[in-house]
Amino acid sequence: MKIKQKAQAGTFESGDIMILIEPVPSGAGREIIIDSTVALQFGDDIKQLIISKLDEFKVQDVHLMAKDKGALEPTIKARVETALIRSANQQEGTL
């Protein structure tokens, strides 16, 4: 999947995660930044969930910022997937 535009999914509410995605030049790789209220306990797990979704959609070049407020695994996966689909112009959404 090619990232074509900035996109976001999620909210800053408790129990949710905000995912922001931006395109980067081809070959730039993945830059993943995670800001989480539970980073000490679950930061590595959150990053692995994000990486698994990027792998699933075959995204190699992306700037992704995650602002987490204690989201559960299904929420994290859904937010990343939604942001990816929006960023590839496959779904209408907000920026």
pLDDT of residue 13: 96
Backbone angles phi, psi at 62, to 5 degrees: -165, 150
For the residues 67-92, what does the mean pLDDT come to?
93
- Domain residue limits, the chain: 7-87
Architecture of domain 7-87: 2-Layer Sandwich (3.30)
For the residues 35-53, what does the mean pLDDT come to?
96
3-state secondary structure 29-65: CEEEEEEECCHHHHHHHHHHHHHHHHHHCCCCCEEEE
Q: 92 burial class (0-12, 13-18, 19+ CB within 10 angstroms)? A: exposed
Band the pLDDT of 95: cuts 50, 70, 90. Answer: low
Centroid of chain to Cα 2: 14
Give this prediction's pTM: 0.91
